Amino acid sequence: MTDTFLLDGEDVPFAPGQSVLQAALAAGRYIPHLCYHPEFKPHGSCKVCTVKVGERTAASCTLPAQPGLEIASDCEEMHELRHTLVQMLFAEGNHFCPSCEKSGNCALQALGSDLGVMTAGFRHFFPDRPVDASHPDILLDFNRCILCELCVRASCEVDGKCVFALSGRGIDKHLVVNAASGKLVDTDIALTDKAMEVCPVGVILRKRVGFAVPIGARRYDQRPISAQALDDAPRPPSGDGRCAACEE
């Protein structure tokens, strides 16, 4: 018999080791999220996937699925929280969507649209961080970084290079390059690295291929982020409710 928990009043099956978010996505139930990536261990950076469990809240990407949990996600309180969190991300960085190469492929932009975020709602910080164009094939625009750590984990866990890291604390926390010079050209990053693929915004860009796919024909132009997330979610190979990827 498959274990289940309740998500907005409906049963969701789960396999041992799955988080609430993983189980929900595998069952075709979308919980908004941003820093979660199915290929990496969740660590709850952005808190956009926060849900209500009884009288408390928790990040669903790191909350272990357990029998009998009663979870609220699709409710006004969680909608308002996610809306505010995404507004804060827009206000903290320089996200000028109409002129950004990542427009249409940007998870932050797509999530903002999905959540109805029309304005940042807060005073913009307008950070003045360096743009690193030292590498012949790759451009880094640190002004757009949302501190999701996906490039950090991809570079260390998959590429085995640890090209990126986060430095500082609080409002001063920022992405850095692990080189004595602080420049990307002095690392061994390659265009084929996993770290090149995972940035949800427009920080890590390939040079000389800008706007190769026109706006209007890009990933989130075609279908909303909620549908894309369900497409990308690992699915069990059979009808037993268990996810093979989670049992490896």
Per-residue pLDDT for 115 more than 60? yes
Buried/exposed 171-202: b ≥16 CB within 10 Å, e otherwise = eeeebebbeeeeebeebebeeebbbbebbbbb
Distance CA 232, CA 237 (A): 14
Q: What are 4's two structure tokens?
A: 């289940």
**Residues with Cβ < 8 Å from 206, sequence gap 6 or more?**
137, 138, 139, 191, 196
List alpha helices for 42-141, DSSP H.
76-92, 107-114
Give the start-to-end residue ranges of the domains of the chain: 4-81+225-247, 96-222
Do residues 199 and 150 make contact, with C-beta atoms less than 8 angstroms apart?
yes
Alpha-carbon distance of 3 to 13, in angstroms, equals 6
**Residue found under tokens 């969680």:** 78
What are 133-177's pLDDT values in tens digits?
A: 999 999 999 999 999 999 999 999 999 999 999 999 988 899 999
What's the pLDDT score for residue 230?
93
* Owner of token pair 């265009």: 191
pLDDT band at 46 (very low <50, low <70, confident <90, very high): very high
Identify whether the C-beta of residue 83 lies closer than 8 Å to the C-beta of residue 117: yes
**Are the C-beta atoms of 18 and 246 separated by less than 8 Å?**
yes
Pinpoint the alpha helices (H) of the chain: 20-26, 76-92, 107-114, 150-153, 219-222, 225-232, 244-247
Judged by DSSP in three states, 53 sits in strand
Q: Domain 96-222 class? A: alpha beta
What is the rounded CA–CA span in Å between residue 115 and residue 83?
6
What is the arrangement of strands in the sheet containing 10-13, beginning at the earlier edge strand?
10-13, 4-7, 70-72, 50-53, 56-59
For residue 244, pLDDT beyond 60:
no
d(CA 163, CA 135): 13
Cβ proximity of 34 and 17 under 8 Å: no
pLDDT of 30: 97
| CATH placement of domain 4-81+225-247 | 3.10.20.740
Cα distances (angstroms) measured from residue 215 to each of 20, 112, 119, 138, 210: 34, 17, 21, 21, 11
pTM of structure: 0.90
Which pLDDT score, from 0 to 100, does residue 229 have? 93
Does 6 score more than 90 pLDDT? yes
